[in-house]
A and B are shown apart, each in its own frame.
Chain A
Amino acid sequence: MVKLFKYTLCVLILITSSLKAETSKEFNTDPNSAFSFAPAPGSEAQKFLKTIGLKEGYNDPKNNNGSTIYVAIGEGSATANNNSQTIHDARYNAYRRALLQAKSKYVQFLGVEISTSMENIVKENTMPEPEQIVERAVKKTTGNVSEFEKIKKLINLKLDQALKKEGYNKDDPKEKKQEVIKKVLASNEFKSTTRVAAQAALAGFQTFTTFEQSNAGDKVFITVVGVWSNKLNELANAIKAKDFNNIPAGTPKKPIAEQIPNDPGVLIGTFGAKMYVNENGEREVVAFGHASPLKEGRRDLLNNACKQSEIKAKADITLFVNENVYYTSELSERDISQDLQVNGKEQYTSFQGKKFDEKIKSIGQLNDASFETVDTKVVPGNSVFAASDCISIVKWSPSGERARTGMKNQTGQKNNNTFSGNNQKMNSRQGGSGSRDF
């Protein structure tokens, strides 16, 4: 008896332990073994921000020498491949897309209007085919065949006019006519819509830095770290109002020309307008425009590309100074059920669908401003990008504005456009960032 008890106990222990083992395998709740992190878009930018003590979003003035800073990250990808002749225009547009996305985040932080609505549309139509109704009704009221035909024609004419409004045409093939009638048989549509709209005038939103990823066979992906601060805002407003006495002074740095990236690998990945502090502690806005020539080996086409990149750089300074950003998105959800009559049989169908539209629009304007071209560099085609990249570096400075005012009545001003080739190989990496004195 004792033996039997011991044996039963052993068997029970064995069963329990095997069950326990299976249970723990099935419901493993140890979080460390179940999750891992994959590199996410924008993670390089997040790391960069961490190193300089900033975070995406609002940054408290207490931690930034009294300066209110908002940081936004945006991403955009190029539509052309790296071996395309228009790659640098595509990269620049990817940068613009990413910057616009970053700006839309800031605009939405400032405030949005959300409207959400719900609608229900019920349609019912048990009407049989129109011809049948006419025949049935006319036969009831008249026995005379010729009279019958006359009345039928008259009523049909009236009917055709009425049904045309519903999309029914008597001359259409029978199948098409039935389709129209099918549509209005019975339907129940539920629709809910959420609209988000934001609009803000931006002044002083700049590109802090850019990250560019370009894996072999993949299209270029650009991450922009955009920044807005009260000092940048004051600078932009001063440029707009031409009131240079109110520009907050900065700690003097090296001359701007020495601060501009000299490494072609960095310069090729430097986009947009940035604030720099010059050797006199004055704040200047420097912008980097990019364009590729239509064909390689043609000096005239390269010159055209450089003109285009200069225009792009000037446009970036304009957007830094005075820009209106509009953001709208609409997410609609539809839930439709329909009762159809197909070949005399009733059919029920239903479908659910969503529709999403997002639009970000930006308009910039700057009147009577003075720009100086600091430098123009060309990075020739290489193993990463097939086409040459002409980079125009344009700046706005208070000293330039003062000089312009002094020279306003003079003529024959010199254009200090310079052109220098560069044969170094390019590696994709982080672009240059302006002054960190926000």
Chain B
Amino acid sequence: MDRVVEIFKKIYLIFFLLFFFENANSQVIQKTLSYKKYNVSFVKKMTCVFGKTVNEKDIIQVGLTKKGLFFYEEPFELNKKFNSVSKKVFFVKKNWLGDYELKITDRKNEISKITIDFKNKKAILRKNDGKFNSERCY
């Protein structure tokens, strides 16, 4: 009788451990939160690299579409708040110099501003950790 109990104990233990490792404590949740597709034509498009430190760079890609929309991650209207797919809020306006001023409020409510000069291929990035001139725009 004891022998049978021992065998059942072993079987129980093996099943318990296998179940434990496969399900109990490890989990990966992968969610595709949103996805959007657009068909646009660019009148102007610019990619700028900002050197925040020697090792840290920031890259932005901005543009103007044929329909007069501004492009940053997604095409959107000027002078109007836009909620992006990446859960940021964009607002862009044209200043009196002809440059575009883009305000980005990210998911953590941190604000950054980018001034874009398409004509002279320059941009300025202002973030809470400082002001950075574009190293190069192309």
Partners in one complex: yes
Residues of A at the B interface (CB closer than 8 Å) are 31, 35, 37-38, 40-43, 46, 57-58, 75, 101, 105, 108-127, 130, 133-134, 137-138, 141-142, 147, 151, 154-155, 158-159, 162-163, 184, 190, 192, 194, 196, 329, 331, 333, 335, 354, 356, 358
- B-side residues, CB < 8 A to A, are 6, 9-10, 12-14, 16-18, 20-22, 24-45, 47, 57-59, 61, 66, 71, 73-75, 84-87, 96-97, 107, 119-122, 138
Beyond A118-B33, A356-B59, 19 extra complex contacts between A and B, CB < 8 Å: A108-B45, A114-B37, A114-B74, A115-B35, A116-B36, A116-B74, A118-B32, A118-B86, A118-B87, A125-B26, A127-B24, A137-B20, A141-B10, A141-B12, A147-B6, A155-B13, A192-B73, A331-B59, A354-B59
The reply to whether A112 and B40 contact each other, CB–CB distance below 8 Å, is: yes
Task: Give every chain A residue within 8 A of B119 (Cβ-Cβ).
Answer: 40, 46
Asked whether, in the complex, the Cβ of A108 is within 8 Å of the Cβ of B17, the reply is no
A174 and B41 alpha carbons, distance in the complex (Å): 56
Q: Are A109 and B85 in contact (CB under 8 A)?
A: no
Contact of A116 among B6, B26, B35, B43 (CB under 8 A): B35
Decide if A58 touches B30 in the complex (CB within 8 Å): no
Q: Which of A108, A119, A133, A155 interacts with B30 by CB under 8 Å?
A: A119
Which residue of B32, B37, B47, B120 contacts A356 across the interface (Cβ within 8 Å)?
B47
Chain A neighbourhood of B85, CB < 8 A: 116-118, 192
Query: Is the pair A120, B33 in contact by a Cβ cutoff of 8 Å?
Result: yes
CB distance from A290 to the nearest CB of B (A): 23
Residue of A nearest to B36 (CB): A116
Which are the 4 A-B pairs with shortest beta-carbon distances? Answer: A192-B86, A40-B120, A108-B42, A127-B25
Is there an interface contact between A121 and B28, defined as CB atoms closer than 8 Å? yes
Partner of A114, one of B28, B30, B40, B57: B40
Q: Of B13, B31, B71, B121, which one neighbours A138 at CB under 8 angstroms?
A: B13
A162 touches B138 (CB 8 A): no
Query: A residues within 8 A CB of B28?
Result: 121-124
**Nearest opposing residue in chain B for A35, CB measure:** B97
Contact check, A117 vs B34: say whether CB atoms are below 8 A apart. yes
Q: For A127, give its contact among B26, B41, B61 (CB under 8 Å).
A: B26
* 24 chain-A/chain-B pairs, Cβ below 8 angstroms: A57-B43, A57-B44, A105-B42, A109-B41, A112-B42, A113-B39, A114-B37, A114-B75, A115-B37, A117-B34, A118-B85, A120-B33, A122-B28, A122-B29, A122-B30, A124-B27, A125-B25, A133-B20, A137-B17, A147-B6, A159-B17, A163-B21, A184-B26, A192-B73
> Contacts A40-B122, A354-B59; is A116 near B86 (CB within 8 Å)?
yes
Specify which of A41, A75, A120, A356 is in contact with B61 (CB 8 Å cutoff). A356
A2, B44: Cα distance in complex, Å: 69
Residue of B nearest to A166 (CB): B26
Known: A121-B29, A137-B17. A109 touches B58 (CB 8 A): no
Chain A nearest CB, measured from B41 CB (Å): 5
Q: Is the CB of B32 within 8 A of A119?
A: yes
A133 to B107, CA, bound (A): 39
A35 and B99 alpha carbons, distance in the complex (Å): 13
| Chain A neighbourhood of B44, CB < 8 A | 57
Residue of A with least CB distance to B25 = A127
Report the minimal beta-carbon distance from A128 to chain B, rounded to whole angstroms.
8
Tell me whether chain A's interface is mostly helix, strand or loop, or mixed: mixed
Closest residue of chain B to A104, judged by CB?
B45
Contacts of B29 in A (CB 8 A): 120-123
Q: Report A-chain residues with C-beta under 8 Å of the C-beta of B39.
A: 111-114
- Pick from A35, A194, A356 the residue with the most CB of B within 10 Å: A194
CB–CB A134/B47 < 8 A: no
Closest residue of chain A to B118 (Cβ to Cβ) is A56
B36 near A115: Cβ-Cβ < 8 Å: yes
Are A159 and B21 in contact, with the CB atoms below 8 A?
Answer: yes
- Per the bound structure, the CA–CA distance linking A354 and B73 in Å amounts to 13
In the assembled complex, the Cα of A114 lies from the Cα of B37 at a distance in Å of: 6
Select from chain A the residue with minimum beta-carbon distance to B18.
A158
Q: Distance (Å) between the CB of A200 and the closest chain B CB?
A: 11
Interchain CB contact under 8 A, A137 and B16:
yes
Which residues of chain B have C-beta atoms less than 8 A from A134's C-beta? 17
User: Nearest Cβ in chain A — how far from B14, in angstroms?
Assistant: 7
Cross-chain contact A155 with B41 (CB below 8 angstroms) = no
**B25 and A126 contact, CB distance less than 8 A:** yes
Q: Which residues does chain B contribute within 8 Å of A329, judged by CB atoms?
A: 47, 61
Q: Are A331 and B31 in contact (CB under 8 A)?
A: no
CA distance A142 to B17 in the complex (A): 14
Q: Which residues of A contact B120 (CB under 8 A)?
A: 37-38, 40, 43
The residue in A40, A46, A110, A192 that gathers the most chain B C-beta atoms within 10 A of its C-beta is A192
Give the most central of B22, B26, B75: most A CB within 10 Å: B26
Beyond A40-B120, A114-B38, A354-B58, whether A109 also contacts B66 by CB under 8 A is: yes
| Chain A positions within 8 Å of B87 at CB level | 118
Q: How far is the CA of A64 from the CA of B43 in the complex (A)?
A: 19
When C-beta atoms are compared, the residue in chain B nearest to A329 turns out to be B61
Q: Is the CB of B73 within 8 A of A194?
A: yes
A415 to B104, CA, bound (A): 63
A122 vs B33: C-alpha distance when bound (angstroms):
12
The answer for the CA separation of A382 and B132 in the assembled complex, in Å, is 41
